[in-house]
Amino acid sequence: MSEQPPPRVRVTGPSRRPTRRTARPRRSQIDEETRLGEIYLRSLLREQLRLAGLALLVLAVGLGGLPLLFWLVPDLAATRVAGLPLAWLLIGVAAYPFLVGVGWWYVRAAERNEDDFTDLVETVDRP
């Protein structure tokens, strides 16, 4: 019995010719100031502006509504808590934790928007 040698196999390295289109992150669209990059950036700015408007609305209704409430309901303005007028307590004391809370919420939401945007632009476009 004569054994036949195994068939020959050609071993080659990776192709040295450049491909037509290489995969690249969407971030380059922003860096190169392309139309698509403008759309990505405009969407982030629009979302951040919407968030800022919502925060201002919450502040305007929350704090701006208190004087209006006391004007519309005079008996509420005359109410005293621990010897101090309720209006003073709400506007002079309770307003600060409210401002801190709205600020904390706004920063968290703005960072979440930026993280979502970063996740979007860091993904690679497939050829």
pLDDT tens, 78-90? 788 888 888 888 8
DSSP string of 55-116, one letter each residue: HHHHHHHHHHHHHHHHHH-HHHHT-EETTEEHHHIIIIIIHHHHHHHHHHHHHHHHHHHHHH
Which pLDDT score, from 0 to 100, does residue 21 have? 54
Q: Is the pLDDT of residue 68 over 60?
A: yes
Query: Which of 4-13, 55-64, 65-74, 84-93 shows the highest mean pLDDT?
Result: 55-64
Q: Is the pLDDT of residue 46 over 90?
A: yes
- Quote the pTM value: 0.67
* 30 close to 37: Cβ distance less than 8 angstroms: yes
Measured in whole angstroms, how far is the alpha carbon of residue 114 from the centre of its chain? 4
User: What is the average pLDDT score of the chain?
Assistant: 82
Which pLDDT score, from 0 to 100, does residue 101 have? 96
Q: Is the pLDDT of residue 50 over 60?
A: yes
* Non-local CB neighbours of 85 within 8 Å, separated by 6+ positions: 77, 78, 79
Which pLDDT score, from 0 to 100, does residue 109 have? 95
